[in-house]
Amino acid sequence: MTALSGLRVVELANERIAFAGKLMADMGADLILVEPPGGDPSRDYPPFLDNKPGPDRSLYWWHYHTSKRAMVLDLEDPDGAKTFRKLIATTDVLIEAEPRDRLANFQLDYANLSEIKPDLIHIAVTTHGRNDPRSDLPATDLTIMATSGPPWSCGYDDHSLPPIRGPLQGYQTASHFAYMSALTALLHRGVSGDGQFIDVSMTAASNVSTEAATYSWLVAQKTVQRQTGRHASVSPSGETQQLCADGRYANTGVPPRFPHEYKALHEWLKSLGLEDRLPEAVFLEMGAEWEGPFDLSLIGQDDAITAIFGAGRAALQLIASSVSAQDFFLGCQGVGLAVGPVNSPEEAFEDEHFKARGFHVQVDHDEIERTITYPGAPYRFEKTPWSIYRRAPTLNEHNDEVLAELDP
Amino acid sequence: MSEALSSFRICDFTGQLAGAGATKWLASFGAEVIRIEDPVREGRWDILRGTPPFIDDRRGIDLGGAFNNHNTDKLGITLNLRDEKAKEILAELVRVSDVVTENFAKGVLEKWGFDYSQLKAIKPDIVYVSNCGFGHVGPYSDFRTWGPIVQAISGLTFSSGLPGLEPAGWGYSFMDHTGAYYMAMAIMLALLHRQKTGEGQWVDLACSESALSLHGPALLDWTINANPMRREGSPHSNRNQWPPMAPHGIYPALGDDEWVAIACRNESDWDSLCSVVQRPWLKNKTFATLKDRLTNQNELDQHLGGWTRNQTKHEVETALQDVRIPVAAVLTPEERIDRDPATGSFGLWPSVHHREMGEVRVDGQPVHFSKTDWEMTHGAPCLSEHTMDVLTRVLGYSEDEVTQLASEGVV
């Protein structure tokens, strides 16, 4: 039994929502990917198997379409549209990212489809929402993010360098909300029997996912400014990204704020023989003996709290410059401080913690007679585990199979 | 109130953003979310309760702007779980709840006598979702994290930056937002399973693991091709690898810290760009094909930046929109919140009423449901604001009993 078993999801192939489909398929939904004749363009995106382009070699496709079945339907052709209607009659959730009027042009919009399947949940993902004509202008992950806030907060202290986008976030954040919407509507349908239409805006999704940039403006009409490797902030904040002795960086996060943390940090500093190099060490002792709440909102107002907080930060900087990023991480965690090494994705993937949690997943690729290691589950369910049920489908691979199910 | 999730009650220990953001979604769709805080420490475990931004610079444990943003439409009660009577009240609450949620470090609920096996003994079909940086299982499960740490260890921080410079990171706790989304998914997936089968379960959510699953095909490029992201010239995250596009980047515009994003997806976009820009360099042999433009992208960016920097970002946006090239001005918070008609007409910044802060705008949800749309009306609960309401209405205590419990320091 899987969390989404027995549910059929139809995804109209589009790179913007491929991740939402994967998330549902890997939790056990029967996901049928409907592609136009010739297939979805992202079948040809790099990177490629063994670095060689060619049909069914796109690792982009492989990643985003696990656990799905695929068929080709030409919705512009009456026969294709007829088959699509039949398919919808068996479907619980439809997810699409088409231009706003396209499905209506073929009488395949929600008004028509909900007559075929009254409890259908239809999720439409557009750039700015269904009511904004600008949703039909061309946009990419980069331009969606630029207009929605993330890059404003991301980059370097040197503002002659451009703002930076965290890659893939525009599409993936919208996919998260499409998926959450599907689950919410399914729970409601389970109680009420009702389906409904859901309008997901990609730019709105990133707009509400930018933390302090948004609420600093909403609450106090203040504007955050981007800073190297740390949170964009209304007032400049101290560096948190430290170059370690091995040339890699570590993030020192939030400095100590509890007496036991100051005590442990002070002892670690002493054990490394570094206390003499930190004139502020006396404030670590003060922090260790602090009584009552350590009110961070008084930083900059209360001299003692400001000095203690600053000493914690300085001690971490000094230690980081003396050990490797991994040792700094392990040492800090040993004294209870939230610190992490700045891993590359492949370094993270090879870390023992994720391996031990089973993040390396083997997937059988019968078509090339190989077994491939895939990234694993985003969450661990006790009874209905996430799973990759099958490799990504080849073009039209399940056409006959699905048609046979529709006309038994 | 939305009816989408109105049949569910959440016994909610979450805080910060990584947890509170999850139950905010549920509350906005009508779930009854009862947030439990520690009266002795005045709920300070959630660091956002008393930190900026503040309205009119008024400071205090009930006045944190971020806390208000992440906890709309939740009920807030206090329980001093050092006290046995408080533990009995918690057990009564679990008995009438569908879900228990928390994002403490591993072991906190266990210490209070409410680990998963004990929760199940109280309520056999309970859904329990724990959320912490490294999860409850694995070698680092006792370690501490915050959003930026999760982003660092999972490879996200590294993936965002320019070649030859230190990582730019993401500029905010992207994984606190996104961890909250995964937590909301986990809660709802488990509830769907329970709706079908009557069976509860535990979900062990590790934000760093959710984060590691967000690298797209980069990890397959590693496991299959041994291509690492840590290599010369990488990452260059304003560029596009999948598929490759050129030009593709964020370019300077007229004014101080003004920028515009441009993406040419194909030859047709390139031809359209040429028709607007009309500069001699466009004819350079080095830019003749996509392959040439990718090879000479630094030079191309210099030229295109030279064109954009003499116009405002909105002039560039209009000019390129007219020929249907993907383009967008990099908007400031003020611009995207108060001047972008798209966010306003979507109703993205609803105003909620907070008992002490008054009317405050907050992050809405980026979706609209035709039948059971989300609503946000109340701000975050002040400390213990709903203790009387919840203990009397939900658990059947009398007002006198609650007053007595308060005087004993139980609630």
Do residues B102 and B13 make contact, with C-beta atoms less than 8 angstroms apart? yes
Q: Tell which wins on pLDDT, A292 or A33.
A: A33
CA distance B227 to A345: 11
Taking Cα atoms as reference points, which of B184, B110, B103, B107 lies closest to residue B147? B103
Span A296-315, pLDDT tens digits: 778 888 898 999 999 998 99
**Which CATH architecture does the domain made up of B240-337 adopt?**
2-Layer Sandwich (3.30)
Domain parsing of chain B, residue ranges: 9-213+344-407, 240-337
CB proximity list for A323: less than 8 A, separation 6 or greater: A244, A245, A272, A331
Alpha-carbon distance of A245 to A84, in angstroms, equals: 60
Q: Which residues of B touch A342 (CB under 8 A)?
A: 152, 157-158, 167
Mean pLDDT of all residues in A339-356: 97
Nearest to A241 among B167, B257, B263 (CB): B167
Average pLDDT of chain A? 95
Q: Which domains does chain A carry?
A: 8-209+377-406 (3.40.50.10540)
Residue in chain B lying closest to A128 (CA): B342
Residue A76 neighbours by CB distance under 10 Å: 12
Q: How far apart are CA B13 and CA B15, in angstroms?
A: 7
Q: Does the distance separating the beta carbons of B222 and A345 come in below 8 Å?
A: yes
Q: Quick one: average pLDDT of A140-166? A: 97
The stretch A118-140 carries a mean pLDDT of 97
For the segment A193-210, what is each residue's pLDDT rounded down to a tens digit? 999 999 999 999 999 999
- Rounded mean pLDDT of A137-159? 98
Helix ranges, B143-217 (H) = 147-153, 156-159, 174-197, 207-212
- Amino acid A147: pLDDT: 98
What is the phi-psi region of residue A161: left when phi exceeds 0, alpha when psi lies from -120 to 50, beta otherwise?
A: beta
Nearest CB to A345; choose among B229, B237, B330: B229
pLDDT at A289: 92
Which one of A180, A239, A302 makes the best mutation probe of the B interface by having the most chain B beta carbons within 10 Å? A180
Check if the interface score ipTM surpasses 0.95: yes
Q: Is the pTM of this model over 0.90?
A: yes
Count of other CB atoms within 10 angstroms of residue A268: 18
Mean pLDDT of A353-362: 98
Report the candidate in A351, A358, A350, A348 with the shortest Cα–Cα distance to residue A379: A358
CB contact under 8 A, B192 and A179: no
Taking CB atoms and an 8 Å limit, are A59 and B139 in contact across chains? no
Q: Which residues of B touch A144 (CB under 8 A)?
A: 328
Q: How far apart are the first and last CA of chain B?
A: 28
Indicate the residue of B68, B188, B215 with minimum beta-carbon distance to A184.
B188
Q: Is the pLDDT of residue A238 over 90?
A: no
* Helix, strand, coil share of chain A (percent; to 5): 40, 15, 45
The dihedrals phi and psi of A141, each to the nearest 5 degrees, come to: -50, -45
**Under-70 pLDDT residues of chain B:** none
Tokens encoding A28: 């056990």
Whether domain B9-213+344-407 has CATH 3.40.50.10540: yes
For residue A255, is pLDDT > 80?
Answer: no
* CA dist., res. A361 & res. A63, Å (int): 12
- Cα–Cα separations (whole angstroms), residue B152 to A259, A320, B159, B212: 26, 15, 10, 10
